[in-house]
Structure 1
Amino acid sequence: MLSHAPGDTLGHRLDPRTKLAFQAAFATVALAHPTPRWLLALTAVCLLALRYCELAVRTVLAEYRGVLPFLLVAPFVGALRLDPPWIDPTGARDPLFAVYRTLLLLSLAAAYVKTTPPRESRAAITRLVPGRAGRFLGLGVALVFRFLPLLQADLRRLREGAWVRLGDERRVDRRVKHLAVSALARAFRRADALTLALRARCLSWNPTPPALAFGKGDYAVLGVAGALVIVAIAS
């Protein structure tokens, strides 16, 4: 399960605003130039980012294994035709590039989640988006980063418990119903506990944020992001 893990990698030392800016530049280039040459260059950049965050590719793929089947359906659907020839491989080209581009963006998102504490993410968003909107958005992001891993862990335990009780021998619809109902019930219990915890801790809309400062590594990464955008515009 992917969540924040303390460490001393380059990704951990970067300011969260730098990482958000880098992801924005990466996504802009990926959307503007969905060509094989640019996707290959972005793949190299993504692999370097994962390396400096000490995040393995297989870990990222394992984290998104539930999303991969839905993404891989897109090229197949794009190749289908309603008349002969029923399958046209050229129609799968653009959806395949879109799927690959999405995987690159998800990989960077995974690196961000691993290297950025929810508190720093909240502080970065609050500074980037002024006013109540920024405080509300920052609080929402922080709660999602803390709450989603708990829901994933609950779902994993439910699946393991079902397997121990030979749940895999049930019909598919009954298995899905059991997991969905149980997961929803646990989500509501988690939400109630979260509400009580926030009240007990006197939730503040404007807490004292952690100190954020740019370092040498931040300026280097921002320079790479800027150069990437400039080259993409000039191409």
Structure 2
Amino acid sequence: MYVPGSTPAHRLDPRAKLAVQVAFALAAFAHTTPRGLVVATGVVAACLWAARTPPWEALDELRLLVPFLLAGPLVETVVLGPPWLAPEQAVAPALASYRTLLVVLVAAAYVRTTPTRESQAALQWFVPGKPGRALGLCVGLVARYLTVLRADLRRTRTAMRARLGDQLPVRERMRIVAVTGLGRVFDRSDRLALAMRARCLSWNPTLPRLRLGRADAVALALATALLAWAVAPLVASTGPLVWPLA
């Protein structure tokens, strides 16, 4: 969720931050080795430092994703038959899970330091025309919709605990949260549809003007270096080009 601030990452152009995010994802998937992930971890640490986001706060935002990342290596460790456990089979899934975690941490730093309107303007700059406007509109609606839905669910759980609902069985608590949450979803959807019709499907049509500054040059240089690092294995595998003699 976006948090207002004046950190170096907040002052960057959203297009530069998107370039770093995409280049980092490509580099992380191209170098799923211990050495490559060590370098990627350093890049993630730099991104979190620029966003002034402690790792534990970013992980707290991703607490629902962490169990799934841990489940992959654990499942691969168990085999159906003697010796029943094969730790060596968990190495590749563990590296892949850690790579995914690094990519999501960079995305969390972006979301934490970039307003929705700036993200929408950046997407419409990358994809011009009606497709870009439709993509920007979808991203803006999803970002705003998920925020209010999370707040609704949080208020529902707080109200349930205030009424000693935390003493109910787990199944009953899940039922209460699910039913109340679905009711809030339908209510929010109706109000959102009314607002979109009132605005003729236009949500914040006047977007902020994007300008690249000196600090963005550093981010673009980092994105270029990450992209070159991602392409390096592909270039090395193809070998040097040999031009036929005339």
- Per-residue CA deviations over 1:70-99 (Å, capped at 9, x if unaligned) read 221111011111111111101111111111
Normalising by structure 1, we get a TM-score of 0.92
User: Which secondary structure state, in structure 2, belongs to the residue aligned with residue 74 of structure 1?
Assistant: helix
Q: Give the direction of change, closer, same or farther, for the CA distance of 1:205–1:156 in structure 2 (3 Å limit).
A: closer
Q: What is the CA-CA distance between 1:170 and the residue it aligns to?
A: 2.5
1:137 correspondence with 2:135: yes
Q: Which residue of 1 aligns with 2:59?
A: 61
User: Which secondary structure state, in structure 2, belongs to the residue aligned with residue 11 of structure 1?
Assistant: coil
CA RMSD in angstroms, aligned pairs only? 1.7
Q: Which residue of 1 aligns with 2:242?
A: none
User: Which secondary structure state, in structure 1, belongs to the residue aligned with residue 29 of structure 2?
Assistant: helix
Q: What is the CA-CA distance between 1:203 and the residue it aligns to?
A: 4.1
Q: Which residue of 2 aligns with 1:74?
A: 72
Q: What is the CA-CA distance between 1:206 and the residue it aligns to?
A: 9.1
Structure 2 unaligned spans of 5+: 234-246
Task: Give yes or no for contact 2:120–2:137 (8 Å, CA) kept in 1.
Answer: yes
Q: Which residue of 1 aligns with 2:81?
A: 83
Larger radius of gyration: 2
Q: What is the CA-CA distance between 1:34 and the residue it aligns to?
A: 0.5
Which residue identity does 1:181 align to in structure 2? V
| Number of residue pairs matched by the alignment | 233
C-alpha distance in structure 2 between counterparts of 1:71 and 1:181, whole Å = 28
C-alpha distance in structure 2 between counterparts of 1:20 and 1:117, whole Å = 13
Q: What is the CA-CA distance between 1:201 and the residue it aligns to?
A: 4.2
Q: Which residue of 2 aligns with 1:217?
A: 215
Give the 5 Å matches for 1:180-219.
180-204=178-202, 207-219=205-217
Q: What is the CA-CA distance between 1:202 and the residue it aligns to?
A: 4.7
Which residue identity does 2:10 align to in structure 1? H
Q: Which residue of 2 aligns with 1:20?
A: 18
C-alpha distance in structure 1 between counterparts of 2:203 and 2:153, whole Å = 30
Give the share of equivalent positions with the same residue, in percent.
50
Which residue identity does 1:199 align to in structure 2? R
Which residue identity does 1:198 align to in structure 2? M
Q: Which residue of 2 aligns with 1:178?
A: 176
Normalising by structure 2, we get a TM-score of 0.88
Q: Which residue of 1 aligns with 2:229?
A: 231
User: Which secondary structure state, in structure 1, belongs to the residue aligned with residue 9 of structure 2?
Assistant: helix
Which residue identity does 1:60 align to in structure 2? A
Q: Give the direction of change, closer, same or farther, for the CA distance of 1:207–1:164 in structure 2 (3 Å limit).
A: closer
Task: Give yes or no for contact 1:135–1:206 (8 Å, CA) kept in 2.
Answer: no
1:32 correspondence with 2:44: no
